[in-house]
């Protein structure tokens, strides 16, 4: 039993050393063995053993020598971000976006496809698969080249990746969306609510990258909200946290009705508001008031540092933010800062990429 314990401890120590080396290599770019050992907090010999393991797994390789240096250059090693890929999808009522990203989360391919909001679920799934497959084929990847895939969509999505409630997309309720996307590429598949994934994207690389407590407002055909506390996505017991569009008191008005009453299309109103047109500003104020009422319910409960506004209405820009700030100041004890989404229409798919990477990092990279 003692020998078994020693063996297990040795194996665990080796895994920890490899993890530290991989983390240092991934974060620091091409490095010499000495630099890598220092960054990982390991001896040079231990780092060399870990590096050999990573090289055997296809996650590390010797990088090309730097040109222009006199003498024999020191060997440098790099993380092979291209060793694996993930797919992130945004499947909405009218548009589908697919992204392919490497192990650093850098998007290498993406495809937009238009959809019909009334199309059957099977056709929508086929369209999403076509968009994702086009990305994979354009990158020249074999089937096993995709290590995980995530799809974001409207409605309530439970932790298993099944859509439990969907009012915008026909035939979506009860669909095992995560299972479908996983079968397309023979990899682990996941699904999540679109507003939640947009919040993840903003916290990862966007407007909320420096804060850990935020509310994301997805403004468009409906109001959706994503919530991160202490840097972690909070979806609630059934995945329905943030579905404030269900609450009549939240004051949400259908934007198409508000804009229709104005007698001008959305882009014209938004541009006019940014130019100072009073009638357009009044329309934007009405939209901002509805968004603020919904967001204030979460702000009063969780007291976030930041509210990020994304979705179609965010195209109104600074006039919308100014009015939201004013309305939140009236509704909340300690109103947070309000910012526009960094990624706009790409935020949901990018959040799906991040969720797929989370799985890969934990299950395949051991980070």
DSSP states of 55-83: HHTTSEEEPPPPTT--SPPPPEEEE-GGG
Q: Does residue 243 have a pLDDT over 80?
A: no
pLDDT in tens, 197-213: 999 999 999 999 999 99
Per-residue confidence at 11, pLDDT binned at 50, 70, 90? confident
- What is the reported pLDDT for 10? 86
Helix, strand, coil % in the chain, rounded to nearest 5: 50, 20, 30
pLDDT of residue 3: 44
Domains of the chain: 13-79 (1.10.10.10), 84-197+347-363 (3.30.420.40), 211-341 (3.30.420.40)
What is the rounded distance in angstroms from the CA atom of residue 230 to the CA atom of residue 212? 5
Q: pTM to 2 decimals? A: 0.92
Mean pLDDT of 97-123: 98
Residue environment code for 219-255, b if the CB has 16+ CB neighbours within 10 A, otherwise e: bbbbbbbbbbeeeebebeeebbbbbbbeeeebbbeeb
If we measure between CA atoms, which residue out of 335, 46, 90, 330 comes closest to residue 200?
A: 90
Mean of the pLDDT values across residues 13-24? 94
14, 41, 56, 90 from 11: Cα distances, Å = 5, 18, 17, 40
d(CA 354, CA 122): 26
DSSP 159: T
Return the pLDDT at 86.
Answer: 99
State the Cα–Cα distance between residues 130 and 132, nearest whole angstrom.
6
Q: How far is CA 33 from CA 28, 44, 293, in A?
A: 12, 7, 56
Under DSSP, the state recorded for 5 is H
Confidence (pLDDT) at 2: 43
**pLDDT at 1 > cutoff 90:** no
Residue 71 has pLDDT above 80, yes or no: no
């Amino acid at each position: 039993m003692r020998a078994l314990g020693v063996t297990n401890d040795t194996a665990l120590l080796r895994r920890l050393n490899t993890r530290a080396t991989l983390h240092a290599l991934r974060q620091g770019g091409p490095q010499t063995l000495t630099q890598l050992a220092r960054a990982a907090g390991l001896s040079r010999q231990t780092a060399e053993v870990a590096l050999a393991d990573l090289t055997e797994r296809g996650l590390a390789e010797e990088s090309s020598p730097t040109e222009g240096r006199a003498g024999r250059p020191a060997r440098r090693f790099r993380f092979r971000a291209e060793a694996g890929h993930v797919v992130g999808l945004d499947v909405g009522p009218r548009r589908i976006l697919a992204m392919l990203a490497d192990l650093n989360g850098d998007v290498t391919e993406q495809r937009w496809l238009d959809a019909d909001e009334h199309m059957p679920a099977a056709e929508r799934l086929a369209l999403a698969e076509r968009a994702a497959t086009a990305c994979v084929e354009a990158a020249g990847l074999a089937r096993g080249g995709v290590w995980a895939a995530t799809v974001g969509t409207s409605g309530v999505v439970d932790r298993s990746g099944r859509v439990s409630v969907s009012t915008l997309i026909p035939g979506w309720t009860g669909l095992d969306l995560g299972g479908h996307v996983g079968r397309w590429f023979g990899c682990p598949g996941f699904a999540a609510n679109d507003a939640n994934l947009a919040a993840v994207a903003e916290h990862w690389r966007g407007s909320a990258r420096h804060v850990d407590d935020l509310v994301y407002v997805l403004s468009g055909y409906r109001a959706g909200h994503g919530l991160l506390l202490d840097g972690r996505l909070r979806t609630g017991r059934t995945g329905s946290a943030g579905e404030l569009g269900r609450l009549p008191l939240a004051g949400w008005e259908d934007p198409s009705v508000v804009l229709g009453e104005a007698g001008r299309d959305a882009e014209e109103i938004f541009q006019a508001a940014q130019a100072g047109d009073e009638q357009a500003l009044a329309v934007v104020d009405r939209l901002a008031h509805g968004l603020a009422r919904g967001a204030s319910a979460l702000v009063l409960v969780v007291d976030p540092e930041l509210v990020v506004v994304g979705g179609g209405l965010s195209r109104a820009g600074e006039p919308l933010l100014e009015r939201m700030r004013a309305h939140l100041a009236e509704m909340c004890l300690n109103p947070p800062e309000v910012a526009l989404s960094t990624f706009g229409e790409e935020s949901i798919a990018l959040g799906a990429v991040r969720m797929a990477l989370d799985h890969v990092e934990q299950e395949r990279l051991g980070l």
